[in-house]
A and B are shown apart, each in its own frame.
Chain A
């Protein structure tokens, strides 16, 4: 049986891992390779690296770190941020990333999803969606990496979830902006509604603060994976412990430490 995934997200800026509160006030939490190795050792199922400055500032990024990560990691990882074209995606995949994730560029040019999926296969193409409650519904936001440019994308979240699947997305990461960074739990109501219309893997993002929050999102929103950053970076939750705790409560999850070979 397929296991639920625990996915630390490392926001990368200028070669360092940072974390902000609701996308603001970023603080430095460590080096990329050091954290990548640590999370692999602690049983992360995969990692997401998100270059938070790339997309809003419209600049080319130095992606050599992707190759160094691929060299040390033997678990899958995804790269997000600054990927605007098939050529950008090809560069990142050739450097050794398993998947690429796009967000604002897909809103600006939805056909990019079709082109990426045709070229590399749906399994490489992850669509990130920043979503927030508004007008009695959930709305998609774009350019959320920059508080000055962050704006509603004039799309209903559920409509966009359907559209990206039809265009060839292989996985969706739903970042619930209302709950991001405040550690009060995932947005179960929104994730459960998105799950109803999502037939590709769905990853929850935003709000993890305790072990119980992971149990809630797996049991109540039936997501395939749960992504979190600050609780892991700050050492508030240890992934091996979290997985044992979830496993004891009936969540099917890959345990490490007991079954892995040395």
Chain B
């Protein structure tokens, strides 16, 4: 059996990927933060981390000609937080047009004294569809969210969370997956979700 190469973390700008790298290392996987198409294409698993603003991240992907490459990837791909929104059609944040691999438009939460925005903290998952990504995960388990925009519930929604209404917490279509929360900051539940992602079969293994 060959040792898998590093997980590709797609560089779409923004700081703060150390925690994700450490989380993957705790699962025994090296990772590389990159914009190199060859590295991304040959990785067994690709993660699009997301910190910052949607339009800015899309500009960075476009400048590196990755907006054309990512939709054609055949190995398991995971978008985290903003990275999940980048996989979808667009975001109300600066009217950004995103990759359009999955349908859906990210909308801003309505801010009130009862619902501060950003949503920041631990919220519970409600599972809508069984999926290998959710192996060992039950409804009611908590994960850590930090975001102001969210995707509506659709046919690709695997799990929802409720913040003034249900939104998509986990989505999947074919080899593309998204998590609106930060699995690398979600304790044992997040670790299990990342492990599940890394065990999804890849044609690049």
List the interface of chain A (C-beta within 8 A of B).
Answer: 1-5, 40, 45-46, 67, 70-71, 73-76, 90, 93-98, 120-124, 170-171, 195-196, 198-202, 222, 224-225, 254, 256, 259-262
**How far is A95 from B17 in the complex, measured between Cα atoms in Å?**
9
Write out the residue numbers on chain A whose beta carbons fall within 8 Å of the beta carbon of B122.
2-3, 5, 45, 254
Quote the shortest CB–CB distance from B175 to chain A (angstroms).
25
**How far is A141 from B195 in the complex, measured between Cα atoms in Å?**
46
* Interface segment out of the listed B63-71, B95-103, B144-152: B144-152
Write out the residue numbers on chain B whose beta carbons fall within 8 Å of the beta carbon of A195.
113
**How far is A256 from B140 in the complex, measured between Cα atoms in Å?**
12
**Which of A1, A124, A198 makes the CB contact (< 8 A) with B123?**
A1
Are B188 and A260 neighbours in the complex by a CB distance under 8 Å? yes
Write out the residue numbers on chain A whose beta carbons fall within 8 Å of the beta carbon of B117.
199-200
**How far is A199 from B114 in the complex, measured between Cα atoms in Å?**
8
Most buried by A among B26, B118, B182: B118
Quote the shortest CB–CB distance from B35 to chain A (angstroms).
17
Quote the shortest CB–CB distance from A10 to chain B (angstroms).
17
**How far is A40 from B116 in the complex, measured between Cα atoms in Å?**
25
Are B124 and A1 neighbours in the complex by a CB distance under 8 Å? yes
Are A98 and B136 neighbours in the complex by a CB distance under 8 Å? no
Are A262 and B185 neighbours in the complex by a CB distance under 8 Å? no
**How far is A170 from B121 in the complex, measured between Cα atoms in Å?**
12
Are A70 and B15 neighbours in the complex by a CB distance under 8 Å? no
Are B163 and A2 neighbours in the complex by a CB distance under 8 Å? yes
**Which of A46, A67, A120, A202 makes the CB contact (< 8 A) with B14?**
A120
Chain B facing A: main interface SS: mixed
Are A5 and B15 neighbours in the complex by a CB distance under 8 Å? no
Are A94 and B182 neighbours in the complex by a CB distance under 8 Å? no
For the complex, is B170 an interface residue (Cβ under 8 Å from A)? no
Are B162 and A93 neighbours in the complex by a CB distance under 8 Å? no
Are B18 and A96 neighbours in the complex by a CB distance under 8 Å? yes
**Which of A40, A94, A170 makes the CB contact (< 8 A) with B18?**
A94
Quote the shortest CB–CB distance from B44 to chain A (angstroms).
22
Closest to B25 in A: A71
**Which of A76, A98, A201, A259 makes the CB contact (< 8 A) with B118?**
A201
Are B123 and A96 neighbours in the complex by a CB distance under 8 Å? no
**How far is A164 from B176 in the complex, measured between Cα atoms in Å?**
38
Known: A5-B122, A94-B15, A121-B51. A199 touches B112 (CB 8 A): yes
How many residues does chain B have at the interface if contact means C-beta atoms less than 8 Å apart?
Answer: 47
For the complex, is B132 an interface residue (Cβ under 8 Å from A)? no
Write out the residue numbers on chain B whose beta carbons fall within 8 Å of the beta carbon of A121.
14, 51-53
**How far is A95 from B16 in the complex, measured between Cα atoms in Å?**
7
**Pairs A–B under 8 Å by Cβ, sample size 27:** A1-B162, A1-B163, A2-B145, A45-B122, A70-B19, A71-B22, A73-B19, A74-B191, A93-B16, A96-B22, A98-B19, A120-B14, A120-B16, A121-B53, A123-B120, A123-B146, A170-B120, A171-B118, A198-B113, A199-B111, A199-B116, A224-B116, A224-B120, A259-B140, A259-B141, A260-B189, A261-B188
Quote the shortest CB–CB distance from A205 to chain B (angstroms).
16
Closest to B20 in A: A96
Write out the residue numbers on chain A whose beta carbons fall within 8 Å of the beta carbon of B53.
121
For the complex, is B186 an interface residue (Cβ under 8 Å from A)? yes
For the complex, is B74 an interface residue (Cβ under 8 Å from A)? no
**Which of B51, B123, B148, B187 makes the CB contact (< 8 A) with A3?**
B123
Closest to A94 in B: B15
**Which of B18, B141, B147, B184 makes the CB contact (< 8 A) with A74?**
B184
Write out the residue numbers on chain A whose beta carbons fall within 8 Å of the beta carbon of B185.
74-76, 98
Are B124 and A74 neighbours in the complex by a CB distance under 8 Å? no
Known: A1-B162, A196-B113, A262-B188. A120 touches B120 (CB 8 A): no
Write out the residue numbers on chain A whose beta carbons fall within 8 Å of the beta carbon of B18.
67, 70, 94-96
**How far is A202 from B72 in the complex, measured between Cα atoms in Å?**
43
**How far is A67 from B14 in the complex, measured between Cα atoms in Å?**
17
Quote the shortest CB–CB distance from B197 to chain A (angstroms).
15
Write out the residue numbers on chain A whose beta carbons fall within 8 Å of the beta carbon of B187.
40, 74-75, 256, 260
Known: A94-B18, A200-B117. A74 touches B52 (CB 8 A): no
